[in-house]
Structure 1
């Protein structure tokens, strides 16, 4: 890590140099739709590199947009690496994953000495040669920047989070809404956490995890009510304890088929014992309410009958 911001080196005021990047894919191992490197060139969110990462996402309500807004306000020297998002589909081929990883790591390495790293990832990307793709990416970034540079990650609550990833990052932020409408806000919080670390206002945290042996069905991970809402609120309550930086409740993504699939309770904390105690407490709570995640859903025929009944009763809005 370089000298703190504000200290001069030969009369020059130094800004924090922070790397940002994003590679996102929610992998459905059972999908008949294959994933290729071209899948990350969708026309809507093309794979971009370098300064384009910043230019294309400035002013957007995305995780990257949140990172960039904090960086702009703080006067950071922001360094774009790569950004590529692909529509959910099958396992990512090894060659495609290797090229995405190469682009990210190459840009991180070319950045030279940096003060921090912000990554906007999904959490459920599964590559043929890296089932825990996000853990592999974070470990590769850590190897390049070294152990003293803080890495903060923002993830989707459908991520399948592993101990391997938690060991190599300093903070994990997660969407708290499903449908997802808070990516920008969580990006803001993640970047502010990094800023506090760089300013010395926050002791360097670590990440703790509890993985209850359960794979919740995606159909019942709404956050307005139900078990996900309950777990998220329990986590927020823990954040009142000094030493707990943030809590992250992951329902997992059942269709990314590997041995670490499923729910995870992840805690960023400056107090190791408290951080693990919090994660374990949330893990026990998730296990105790496991049956609440089960939900009966109508057959297509039953759903049509229900919709027709609602329409017949005088529904004024579309029935979905």
Structure 2
């Protein structure tokens, strides 16, 4: 029997409706790979999404196969994709898939929360197009981030959907490996059956940790059910409310080995459990004044997350609410990052290490991004390129753009400034600038939760706090002007009534 030909493509973007549009430059700066470039990158250290190395490795382990890589694009979280750009991505995928026919299966490695200006279901559109091209009998398996927004169009077109089960995300390779196993089984003649339920529940992202809390309890339940021999996968997704789409909402997705009635029943039971615990998805963030007081008084090192300006959710990474407050309070032994300001980073590189000057953050202010000025000394300059050592970025290349370290003269606050929108989730982003994290008393990160997997060696959960300040990714939904979320929905509409029904 000839080796199966597996087509591979994917789109990674977490679309935030309140952020500026995502343009081609955003993809080109992070990941735009086509054809054999994908296979090459999947088998070495690269900027490809981690699913690709995981999928290739498992397929290599389990037998002969022929990769048929099409196109893989990834951009930092941002606004919806510009429509002409998405059309080019879609057309390129279609062109390459048609040229590659026949294929025996398709693996789609997408984030799952993308959107396009004028088209909310870009992920479903791509998978439905692939199904149209290859017909009803070719297996299609899709993997998603757990912060995905899933449509009926996608679940109708795909045979199986597998989502991450860790947040912070450290299991991307594992989920891709499991996707490969499902594909192998289907290529061997195994049938699958799937069920899907979306609930009117859009939890703030800070409530979706998988080490503790209500979402962790549901992930453990999913893993318990997956111990059954007749269950192929259970994925319970948290969604991404800031996409502000009609398909937003937590979902339960169950795939069995050919038993539709079982898929429907398990899906319904888990969805009911999830709904019964809906009141637990509430935020527990700290007011800025309290964060300053704690930073000054804590006997143990502490880390604070400016979750509302997380570039990992579409924030610009340049708000100065926390920076200004900590500077004015002269919080000692404190590092802040990454403040995204290409103009300031460029000026630092022009002036050179050792220069003292007036650093102007956000010289062109915008929404939530006020100008902030402080005398500062340039301590270090880098090109922003390194390889992650822990958590989500472990073993992966990252790029902050031209970057450097400032020490604010009046407060001593250390500030890492970068040129590209990247969240501070990896210790190397500080260490590459000469910062010894173990000697700090306080760190402030522009991140939502992935920093926990990188910084937990320095800051355990009880020394980790989220700060409630304005921003494009606020977990305080009262700060956001939603227009397209399905209503009623919890937590915005606490009296919402729901009756389970499999789709």
In the superposition, the TM-score normalised over structure 2's length comes to: 0.58
Deviation at 1:254, TM superposition (A): 0.4
Report the secondary structure of 2:146's partner residue: coil
Task: Verify the 8 A CA contact 1:170 1:204 in the aligned structure 2.
Answer: no
Aligned to 2:363: none
Deviates more, 1:54-63 or 1:107-116: 54-63
> What do the CA deviations read for 1:186-205 (whole angstroms, capped 9, x no partner)?
111101110111123xx221
**Superimposed CA distance per residue, residues 125-183 of structure 1 (whole angstroms, 9 cap, x where no aligned partner):** 01124211111111001011111000011100000112221111111111111111110
2:271 aligned to 273, 283, 305, which one? 283
Matched-pair contact (CA < 8 Å) for 2:300–2:441: no
Equivalences for 1:1-320 in 2 at 5 Å? Answer: 6=1, 14-31=2-19, 33-42=20-29, 45-59=30-44, 62-73=50-61, 74-200=63-189, 203-269=190-256, 270-310=258-298, 313-315=299-301, 318-320=441-443
C-alpha deviation, 1:38, in angstroms? 2.1
The whole-number CA distance in structure 2 between the counterparts of 1:96 and 1:300 is 39
Aligned 8 A contact 1:130 1:136 in 2: no
**Shift, 1:318, TM fit:** 4.4
Unaligned residue ranges in structure 2 (runs of 5+): 302-437, 444-503
Q: Could you tell me how far 1:285 is from its partner in structure 2? A: 1.2
State whether residues 18 and 79 of structure 1, in contact with CA within 8 Å, keep that contact through their aligned partners in structure 2.
yes
Q: How far is 1:305 from its partner?
A: 1.5
Query: How far 1:25 sits from its partner (Å)?
Result: 0.4
Native 8 Å contact 1:16 1:115 kept in 2: yes
* Contact 1:157/1:252 (<8 A) preserved: yes
Partner of 1:255, secondary structure, is helix
Contact 1:21–1:53, Cα closer than 8 Å, also in 2: no
Q: Is the 8 A contact 1:50 1:80 kept in 2?
A: yes
Deviating more after overlay: 52-61 vs 209-218? 52-61
Q: Deviations over 1:45-64 (max 9, x none)?
A: 33111111111122458111
> Alpha carbon RMSD of aligned pairs, Å?
1.5
**How many aligned positions are there?**
301
CA distance in structure 1 between the partners assigned to 2:112 and 2:173 by the alignment: 17
Alignment check: 8 A CA contact 2:241 2:248 kept: yes
CA contact (8 A) 2:112 2:150 kept: yes
Q: What residue in structure 2 maps to residue 3 of structure 1?
A: none
Between Structure 1 and Structure 2, whose CA radius of gyration is higher?
2
Give the C-alpha shift of residue 314 in structure 1.
4.5
- Do the aligned residues in 2 keep the contact of 1:26 with 1:88 (CA within 8 Å)? yes
